Structure 1
């Protein structure tokens, strides 16, 4: 999964280079590049987030 999150922004960056050369429309490549970078950064930051301690009565319910 992490490998895919590294490859997708690189692929979107290459598409954006093609867009800057006017081979692909920029209105397609720029949002794609932004979305892939956003998803990659969000997923790498969200992995090790502290979610708090479970209370004793929560353990008995689950």
Structure 2
């Protein structure tokens, strides 16, 4: 997901998406470990999206201070 798209979302939507991505990441780890999932790049993409979201949330927190 692009950073521009994430910035347009409200704080609640960002946090909800973050929680969903963390669940997705956990599920992907199990699937990769059991060889149900062969596309390892999906895990990498999810982890990068989590990092983008956490960065945006922390930037917004710093702006408020």
Is the shorter-chain TM-score for this pair beyond 0.5, marking a shared fold?
A: yes
After superposing on structure 2, the runs of 4+ consecutive aligned residues of structure 1 that deviate more than 3 Å are: none
- Where does structure 2 lack aligned partners over 5 or more consecutive residues? 1-12
Question: Is 1:31 aligned to residue 41 of structure 2?
Answer: no
1:27 and 1:3 map into 2 onto residues whose CA distance is 24
Cα displacement (A) at 1:42 = 1.0
Larger RCO (alpha carbons 8 Å, 6+ apart) = 2
Q: What is the alpha-carbon root mean square deviation over aligned residues?
A: 2.2
Per the normalisation by structure 2, the TM-score is 0.56
Aligned length: 51
Larger radius of gyration: 1
Per the normalisation by structure 1, the TM-score is 0.58
Which position in structure 1 is the counterpart of 2:58? 45
User: Per residue, is there more helix in 1 or in 2?
Assistant: 2
